[in-house]
Amino acid sequence: MSTDLAIETSGLVKVFGDNRAVDGVDLKVAAGTVYGVLGPNGAGKTTTVRMLATLLRPDGGEARVFGKDVQKEADAVRSRVSLTGQYASVDEDLTGLENLILLARLLGHPKPAARERAAQLLEAFGLRDAADKQVKNYSGGMRRRIDIAASILNTPDLLFLDEPTTGLDPRSRNQVWDIVRAVVAQGTTVLLTTQYLDEADHLASRIAVIDHGRVIAEGTKGELKASVGSGAVHLRLREAEQRPEAERVLAAALGAEVLLDADPVAMTARVSAGSSDRGAAEQAAHALAELARNGITVDNFSLGQPSLDEVFLALTDKKGEAA
Ligand SMILES: Nc1ncnc2c1ncn2[C@@H]1O[C@H](COP(=O)(O)OP(=O)(O)OP(=O)(O)O)[C@@H](O)[C@H]1O
Ligand SMILES: [Mg+2]
């Protein structure tokens, strides 16, 4: 197995009773990247992460972290990874500063170095003012940030972030995203689990979609979106009275249903790359030319990829049909 991979698993399995929580997962995560593992509640994300972080013994298959087997070379794996759990590890009764100093001391830092590292991280994570507050008085967003700070006291080569933003407001989520980007910029590989498609969209370069313990799709964001094979054309017309004619021309040019927006000059149509020899952009260009040929003035036009939400629904739908 190659070592420029931070993670490589094949046929990874974890069984709880008769529940195959992880049911043959194959993953390849390139070092230095953010890899997203996306899936609904109970999909097997945490279980997968816990096996990779050597906290849980696999019942089948194989997993390597930087080329080291998670079972046979667990110590070597542990020395290079860190985990920020869905259910985290800092002490509620200690202050943020006390927590970080304590953990740094446990990692073997001498006292002055521990203090310095703790102060540095509190500053970097926007927690300087909260340094002397007990963690039980932190907001959800502050709590998540201190959890991540605690997990990167020693810069790990691989950081597992298990749903780092679940339950956070948009501003706090953005702060966590910035932290993730900063961690990656320092060379750490991040495996991020999330239920939020836009989070994977913002942070991850590749994504595995898992459901019922299996990987149901994998690829770059672009590949996942392209696999659904459709995009949406949004149009704004100059004049509202041209909309019925524009609707007719657009429907004929694209062979697709046109949706009229509440805004009387706006409309939307699906473009399916799979249904025609032409690509989505070419179909959209053809539609625009047809509108112009019919004397319809278009003020604004965009061709969007489907959102990851649409991708996710399409993937889980497909699975439903197959079952
Ligand atoms: N220690 C355990 N004992 C028994 N069953 C477990 C245990 N841990 C997880 N499970 C089960 O395994 C399945 C996968 O759980 P897991 O926690 O990995 O899902 P998840 O994708 O992390 O979900 P969530 O988004 O809710 O965190 C679920 O059916 C869960 O009930
Ligand atoms: Mg979980």
Q: Tell me what pLDDT residue 321 has.
A: 45
Question: How confident is the model over 267-301, as pLDDT tens digits?
Answer: 988 787 655 567 778 888 899 999 999 999 999 99
DSSP-derived secondary structure letter, 223:
H
Q: Which CATH number fits domain 230-305: 1.10.3720.10, 3.30.70.600, 3.30.1180.20, 3.40.5.10?
A: 3.30.70.600
Q: How confident is the model at residue 241 (pLDDT cuts 50, 70, 90)?
A: very high
Q: Say which amino acid occupies 70.
A: V
For residues 199 and 189, what is the distance between their CA atoms, to the nearest angstrom? 16
Distance 258 CA to ligand 2 centre (A): 40
Mean pLDDT of 170-192: 91
What is the pLDDT of the chain when averaged over all its residues?
Answer: 88
Q: How confident is the model at residue 309 (pLDDT cuts 50, 70, 90)?
A: low
Question: How confident is the model over 77-126, as pLDDT tens digits?
Answer: 999 999 886 555 789 999 999 999 999 998 889 999 999 999 999 998 88
The SS3 of residue 122 is helix
Q: Among residues of the chain, what percentage have pLDDT more than 90?
A: 60
In the chain, ranges of CATH 3.40.50.300 domains: 5-225
Q: Looking at the predicted structure, is the pLDDT value of residue 319 above 60?
A: no
Helices (H), 125-159: 140-151
Q: Looking at the predicted structure, is the pLDDT value of residue 240 above 90?
A: yes
Q: Looking at the predicted structure, is the pLDDT value of residue 175 above 80?
A: yes
For residues 167 and 217, what is the distance between their CA atoms, to the nearest angstrom? 26
Q: How confident is the model at residue 323 (pLDDT cuts 50, 70, 90)?
A: very low
Is 2.60.120.10 the CATH number for 5-225? no
* Highest mean pLDDT pick, 248-252, 254-258, 310-314: 248-252
In the chain, ranges of CATH 3.30.70.600 domains: 230-305
| Atom from ligand 1 closest to the CA of residue 45 | 21
Distance 42 CA to ligand 2 centre (A): 7
Q: Which residue has the higher pLDDT, 162 or 280?
A: 162
Q: Which residue has the higher pLDDT, 140 or 36?
A: 36
The model carries a pTM of 0.78
Instruction: Kindly report the backbone phi and psi dihedral angles of residue 303, in degrees, each rounded to the nearest multiple of 5, phi listed first.
Output: -115, 115
Residues with CB under 5 A from ligand 2 (ion): 45-46, 86
Residue nearest to atom 4 of ligand 1 (CA): 16
| Atom from ligand 1 closest to the CA of residue 22 | 14
Mean pLDDT of 61-79: 96
Instruction: Kindly report the backbone phi and psi dihedral angles of residue 18, in degrees, each rounded to the nearest multiple of 5, phi listed first.
Output: -105, 15
